[in-house]
Each structure stands twice: as structure tokens, then as C-alpha cells.
Amino acid sequence: GAEQSADGIVVNTFEELEAEYVKEYTRTKDKAERCRGENGSTVDDYEQCLKWLDSWEPGSVIYPCLGRICGLATWQLLELGSGLEASSQPFIWLIRGGERSQGLEKWIQEEGFEERTKERGFIIWGWAPQVLLLSHRAIGGFLTHCGWNSTLEGVSAGVPLVTYPLFAEQFYNKKLAAQVLGIGVSVGIEATVTWGLEDNSGLVIKREKVKEAIEKLMDRGKQGEKRRKRARQLGEIANRAIGVEMLIEFVIQQTRGQ
């Protein structure tokens, strides 16, 4: 296949994040591997979000987003929202569109959630410039489904994570963040969401667990500060890894047979 015949492989990571994997992959494949670093697009149309975030203290806001493909049933999304409310933590919640978000939207608007949390909550429907949000000084935590892009964006922004994996490799990414890197707090999910059977399964996680994970992540004690320090260190390393110039130089060296 193409991978076997290629002279090198470009991977969406940076070496310090997955040093052992990079080393082993290079050894087993006997190929040059280039970690390109995190790089994302930005937009200017986020003034309203920015203005709201500017009103909060540095590191005080939790940012929940479960990605483009969220397999949670409506009742499970309500548990997430209820956990956010119970935590009493300022939040900016990005909710993707789709069939399942309709029931959530009705609950937010008609059951009083929006009114009860209006002093400390900001809800975005559809899409938002996640990289820009994560880099804002007010963001102190990222509740994520642990998709690789989101995980890498959180790490690159130097933000600790509440891990809420749903399926596939997200559970490996959760383990990397919480157990290997030491920058994550798990909500306790161990079983995957099965596509097509979401409404027939039990609750993936209850509101109390969401509340506990958020409070643990945002805690100002020694463990919380240790996670934040480690997250900042990884963010600095990640940003030093960004650079298309190094990739161009690497390709030139390979084509010259160096």
C-alpha cells in the first residue's frame, strides 16, 4: 500500500506528546516520520463570545463541547447540562446542530435552564472557532469527547481536560490525557456509545459525576494547580512544534537523500 511505499509519514501530533509512540513507530516502520504540530484555521467572527469571556477572571470558565458527531441520546445531554448547572461554574457551551439537539434546545429554553444560568452561562449553537475559544485567558478547562483533533487543540492551548469519551479511539485519548500526561479528569465513562442503540442504553454518566469532574478540574488546590502547570508546559511545547518551515526543510533533506 501507499504507507509501505512512502518515504516518510506526516502525523498530526508533536513528538513530546507521544514520544514513545513516535520512537516505536519509526523503529518498526524503518521510515522517517514527521510530526507536524497542531495548526488550525481561525476566524474573526467571534466578538460576542470574546466579549462575554472578557468579563470573567483568567482560568475561571469551563468549555464543554462533544464534537461534531455526538452519539448521546437527548436525556444524556440533559444530564450533561444538569451537571453543568449543578457545578456553579461559569461555562461557555458549544452545542452542535442535528436531530438530537432539538430536544436539548427545547429543554434549555422551556424548562428554565437558560434563565437559571444566564448570569454565568453562554450557549453557542452550531459552530464556533474552537481554537480561538480555547486560547482565551478566561478558559480554565475543556470538557471534551476526546476526539484527537479536540484533544490536540486543548493540549496546544495549555488547557486541562474533563474527559468524556463516547466511542472508538476516544478512550485511548482519555487515558493519554488523564493517566499519561496528567492533565485530565475523567467523568468515569468506561463503556462506548453504540450507534443506533443510543436510546435503548442506560445513562452513560449522571449529572453528579459531571459536576464532580468539573469541580475537581477547576479546583484551586495542589492537584488542580499541578494539572494546570503541566497543561501550560505541554501547550508551550506544542506551540514550539508548530512551523511549516521545519517540514519544508525536512522534505528537502529527504529528497536529497540526507
Per residue in 52-91, pLDDT (tens digit) is: 999 999 999 999 999 876 667 788 889 999 999 999 999 9
Alpha-carbon gap, residue 162 to 141, rounded angstroms: 7
Q: Is 42 a member of any domain?
A: no
Q: Is 157 a member of any domain?
A: yes
- The domain that holds 51 is classified in CATH as 3.40.50.2000
Q: For the chain, what is the domain count? A: 2
Domain match, 19 and 76 both: no
Domain match, 193 and 139 both: yes
Range of the structural domain that residue 141 is part of: 47-238
Alpha-carbon gap, residue 78 to 88, rounded angstroms: 16
Find the mean pLDDT for residues 95-108.
77
Q: Is 115 a member of any domain?
A: yes
Domain match, 51 and 6 both: no
pTM to 2 decimal places: 0.78
- Across 31-40, 95-104, 118-127, 169-178, least confident range: 31-40
Q: Is 53 a member of any domain?
A: yes
Burial 137-147 (b: 16+ CB within 10 A, else e): ebbbbbbbbbb
Dig out the grid coordinates for 136 from the structure. Answer: 482565551
Domain match, 118 and 32 both: no
Residue 129 pLDDT: 85
Domain match, 229 and 251 both: no
Find the mean pLDDT for residues 15-31.
59
Residue 41 pLDDT: 31
Residue 256 pLDDT: 76
Q: Is 211 a member of any domain?
A: yes
Please state, as a whole number, how many other Cβ atoms lie within 10 Å of the Cβ of residue 160. Answer: 28
List, in sequence order, every beta strand (DSSP E) within the chain: 8-11, 32-35, 61-65, 91-95, 121-125, 139-144, 161-163, 184-186
DSSP 3-state helix, strand, coil percentages of the chain (rounded to 5)? 50, 15, 40
Q: Is 154 a member of any domain?
A: yes
Per residue in 103-145, pLDDT (tens digit) is: 888 899 889 999 999 999 999 888 888 998 999 999 999 999 9
Q: Is 206 a member of any domain?
A: yes
Residue 30 pLDDT: 54
Q: Give Cα 99 distance to the centre of its chain.
A: 23
Find the mean pLDDT for residues 198-211.
75
Domain match, 20 and 142 both: no
Residues 6+ apart with CB under 8 A from 98: 70
Confidence of residue 48 (pLDDT cuts 50, 70, 90): confident
Domain match, 126 and 191 both: yes
**Pick from 204, 133, 139: nearest CA to 170:** 204
Dig out the grid coordinates for 48 from the structure. Answer: 460576542
Query: Does the structure show a pLDDT above 80 at 33?
Result: no
Residues 6+ apart with CB under 8 A from 1: none
Contact between 74 and 66 under an 8 Å Cβ cutoff? The reply is no
Dig out the grid coordinates for 110 from the structure. Answer: 422551556
Domain match, 152 and 232 both: yes
Mean pLDDT across the chain:
82
Q: Is 68 a member of any domain?
A: yes
Domain match, 180 and 123 both: yes
Domain match, 179 and 216 both: yes
Residue 245 pLDDT: 72
Confidence of residue 49 (pLDDT cuts 50, 70, 90): confident
- Across 12-21, 25-34, 90-99, 197-206, least confident range: 25-34
Domain match, 8 and 120 both: no
Domain match, 172 and 149 both: yes
